[in-house]
Amino acid sequence: MAQSRSPGASPTALERRIAAQRPPSPMLRVITRLHGHKTDPTRVVDVVILNHERRRHCHGTVVGTKGTELFVDFSEPTPLRDGDALVLETGDIVEVRAEAESLIEVCANHLTALARIAWALGDRHVPVQILSDRLRLRADAALEGLLRGLGGKTEHIVAPFEPEGGAYRSDDRGERGHHDIGTSGESPP
């Protein structure tokens, strides 16, 4: 049988922990993520623009471009990608967009040289976005020297950053896994 407290009595430790996990009343709680699905535009109330690190470790308060305050508290680490949608407790949707970041884009005269560059970056556990004929990574002077030393041609750009997740990433969208062949997202025959 639950005990009742007299009015004005201080809250228990459990009540304090529960209250600390609740967002302030004007903040909306995110209840789930939709993976890059097309959403009903009439349900979209805002957009959040987040850099790669913030999308990779999204937890806590996020503010949309229209000022909507969101509280993100998924039970497991849930990386976000450009094009995902956050479903709020109200049923409304907030779109996720990748923020443009300072990056190095590297290409090479031959795909073999580009493959060597990709291997060298992977060996150093550098997050890399792989495109058809070039690579993108965060701006870093030391790495830029390495890239040039390996025959890469570098250019500083500002663009959204969507690096590969790595061989051990669990992504229920079935995209970009280490067993996938090609870039279409289709399974091999």
pLDDT at 169: 54
Task: Report the interhelical angle of 111-123 vs 141-149 (nearest 10°).
Answer: 140
Say which DSSP state 13 is in: H
Cα-based distances in Å from 187 to 8, 12, 175, 180, 182: 62, 54, 10, 7, 9
Digit-coded pLDDT (tens) for 156-172:
999 999 998 766 554 44
pLDDT at 184: 36
Q: Who has greater pLDDT, 8 or 131?
A: 131
pLDDT surpasses 70 at 175: no
Q: Are 43 and 93 in contact (CB under 8 A)?
A: yes
**Same topology between domain 13-98 and domain 99-189:** no
Say which DSSP state 41 is in: T
pLDDT surpasses 50 at 176: no
pLDDT at 140: 94
Digit-coded pLDDT (tens) for 77-132:
888 999 999 999 999 999 999 999 999 999 999 999 999 999 999 999 999 999 99
Q: Are 88 and 30 in contact (CB under 8 A)?
A: yes
Each domain of the chain, given as residue ranges in start order, spans: 13-98, 99-189
Judge: domain 13-98, CATH 3.40.1500.10.
no
Percent of the chain with pLDDT over 70: 74
Other Cβ atoms less than 10 A from the Cβ of 43: the count is: 14
pLDDT surpasses 50 at 57: yes
- Kindly report the CATH class assigned to 99-189: alpha beta
Query: Using a CB cutoff of 8 Å and minimum separation of 24, what contacts does 121-125 make?
Result: none
Q: How far apart are CA 133 and CA 110, in angstroms?
A: 9
Which is it for the CA torsion 5, 8, 10, 12, positive or negative? positive
Average pLDDT value for the chain: 81
Q: Who has greater pLDDT, 97 or 20?
A: 97
